[in-house]
Every structure is written in structure tokens, then in C-alpha cells.
Structure 1
Amino acid sequence: MPDPVDATLRLTHVGGPTLLVETAGPRILTDPTFDPPGRRYGFGWVARRPTVDVAVLHLGCVRFPVTGPLRYSMTGEQAVATCRALHPRVVVPVHYEGRSHFREGRAAVERGFAAAPDVRDRVRWLRPGGVTPVD
């Protein structure tokens, strides 16, 4: 494991809303885009797909009446496809309940992960106010 005292933080804009956050320890991919699963991105300095330690996935299938069918976060099915494309070590679902604009709550997201045996064991559900280990 790299030196935990190293405070280096690297941010790589992958495209769209996607950002790769790298520290001395884990690499975190945030807001994966909704491109077809398996799409490869060039990062300029590396032509291979990065190793993703923790994928924080914004779910809930958020939509607003004014924008019609446009979604602002993934469905559970899209989350599974994203995990299959990225192969993250840990998956952290967030942003899927608590507001009226969510079209899929935790139960729907859980069903999506439960139907994917190759993904479900990597999912870590956060508890509000709690600490969730990701190692």
C-alpha cells in the first residue's frame, strides 16, 4: 500500500460528469457517464482503462417533469452495467432516496444488484452518520 501520509491528490476529468480522484491510496471514479458499457476513455497520459478501487454511483433514476425523459442519475440496471465495465473493487451506491424526483429507491436498486452475482458482493451500502469500511 502506498504511503498514507502522502497528501497528493490527482483529479482527472474523464469526460462529461466523470472524474477520477486519485490519492496515495484508493482511486475513486465519480459520476460515470451513461455511455454504452465497456467504452474506453483515453486519459492523455495512459491509454488503458484505469484500475478503479471505489466507484461511487449516483443512482435513483432522477428525472424532472420539465426535462421529460432525460435522467440525471443512473438506474440500478445501468449501475450493474457500469460495474461490469469498470470492475471496481468496491461499489458505493448514493443519491437514490429522500426526494420526490427519485424514480428508483433503494429497494429497486437492491433488486438490480441482487440479480447480478458478479457485482453484488462488492456493494457497500452507506448508513447515514455511520462509517463504512471499503477495504
Structure 2
Amino acid sequence: MTDATITHIGGPTALIEVGGWRILTDPTFDPPGKRYFFGWGTMSRKLVGPSITPDDLGSIDAVLVSHHHHGDNLDPSAQALLPTWGTTYTTRKAAKKLGGNSVGLAAWETTTMEAPGKLAITITATPCRHGPVGSDPITGPVIGFSLSWDGQEHGELWVTGDTVLYDGLRDVGKKLKIGTILLHLGAVRFRYLSGWFRYTMDAKEGAKLLDEIIPTTVIPVHYEGWSHFQQGREQAERDLERHRITWLDPGETTTVTV
């Protein structure tokens, strides 16, 4: 049995500390106020800065980047720091773009992190669809990450990545035993361009996913800090009330048995 310590830094960004590793997810460290353009006329403004600065973060062994082409998942400040943060695990397309110590993965591909004195952790890339049916050519490739290691009591630690609920996401619960989820929410929409189509899950979709997987720990992320997030914590709490949720405000930390 190995405990993991998880700190919510803000937006999709979290620090996972387990087995001697310090793993950063979807790093975003720009100050607030900047606008980010996502293509096809879509944009967002960052409203809140990170709860922890890179200078205060300490050493990082690995970074999980679900996709590189949206500034709310990898912003310029974080991209400049990637070479100092060990290995970056991301999509194949992103690995080609980012270069350096990047490892590209497609859905269901695996790789293992190993180092002397540290727990061996297997990373499985999990499928995502970052929008409605047919949006992949526009939104680009996205993956999530499931982390497994010997001695897990409840199951793997899964970072869903930016995705809506669809069959590929449901397959994760069918193929893997999931114990802890970092659940990307936010109900991202661009109503003036694409109506009511969502590009990430809202909490009702998240609840349906949890009904099927039944994890022991759920930590929502990716629901605050940017103007394109359409559903914050208050509404999400109501829609997720039938599930046991660990809410972490930016800067807060919890320790979970995985």
C-alpha cells in the first residue's frame, strides 16, 4: 500500500507525490490577465494565477501534458520550464512539437518510469474526445493518464484529461481498475461559435462516469480560473452530491491511499 499526496495548484494543474516521484499535471503558471486563443475564433482569459509559483514548486521528475495546443493546459511559462522538469509524457503530436525529453503516447500505449530508489510506475495513456462527435480534427489529439504501481490497494490513479463523456472514456473503467480520479470538469463551451456543444464534461456527465467506475477518491480539477469554464464548483457540487468528492481549493493538499 502506497499513499499519494496531491496538491491542486489551480485549473488543471496538480502536483502528485508518490513513491519518491514528483509529477506535475497540465502545468499552467502564467499570471492572470492574459488571453489565450484556441483556434477557430475561440479564446479565453486567465482570471486567477497559480497558487504555487515555479520558484516555490521544487524539483519535478515528470510532467503529464494531456495536450500542448491549448494555453489552459500548457501555457508559455510552463512550456519554457519543461526542459528543467524531467520527462514530459504527452501525445505523439505534442512530443514532436515539444522535443527534448518528451515521450509521445497514443491511447492505450504504456511506458514505465523507473529510477533508483523510486517506485516503478507504469503510465497508460487513456482516450479522450475534447468535444462533440467529429470535433477531433479541430480540437486536436488529447490523452489522459492512468498511473499504476505494485501494492495499490484500491486501483490506479487516473487523470482524465480534457474530454467529454463518450464510449472511449467509459472503456477506461472497463479495462483498468481505477481507485483515484483527477476529474477534469468545467463544461467548456463557446456559445457564440458552437452553441451549446461542450468540450469538457460538466458535473452531470462526471457523475454518470463515476456511477460506472465507482472509485474510492475523486478530486475535481479544471473548473476554475479561466473565463471559458462555464460551470464552477457551486453547481458541480450539487450535481455530484450523490458521490463522495474531495474538493481541493487551489493550494490545498490531500493524501490518499491508492
Which TM-score tier does this pair reach, normalised by the shorter chain?
0.7 to 0.9
Counterpart residue number, 2:158: 29
Percent identity of paired positions between Structure 1 and Structure 2 = 30
Q: Partners of 1:41 and 1:75 in 2: how far apart?
A: 18
Q: Partners of 2:256 and 2:216 in 1: how far apart?
A: 9
Unaligned segments of structure 2, at least 5 residues = 3-18, 20-116, 129-142
Unaligned segments of structure 1, at least 5 residues = 43-47
Aligned residues: 124
After superposition, the Cα gap between the structure-2 partners of 1:99 and 1:40, relative to the gap in structure 1 and judged at 3 Å, is: closer
Counterpart residue number, 2:181: 55
Contact 1:37 1:81 in 2 (8 A): no
Q: Is 1:124–2:255 an aligned residue pair?
A: no
Q: Partners of 1:41 and 1:109 in 2: how far apart?
A: 22
Instruction: Report the TM-score when normalising by structure 2.
Output: 0.42
Contact 2:217 2:256 in 1 (8 A): yes
Name the stretch that deviates more: 94-103 or 28-37.
28-37
Counterpart residue number, 1:12: 124
Secondary structure of 1:102's aligned partner: coil
Deviation at 1:55, TM superposition (A): 0.7
Aligned alpha-carbon RMSD (Å): 2.7
Q: Partners of 2:249 and 2:234 in 1: how far apart?
A: 15
Q: Partners of 1:73 and 1:112 in 2: how far apart?
A: 15
Counterpart residue number, 1:110: 237
Counterpart residue number, 1:45: none
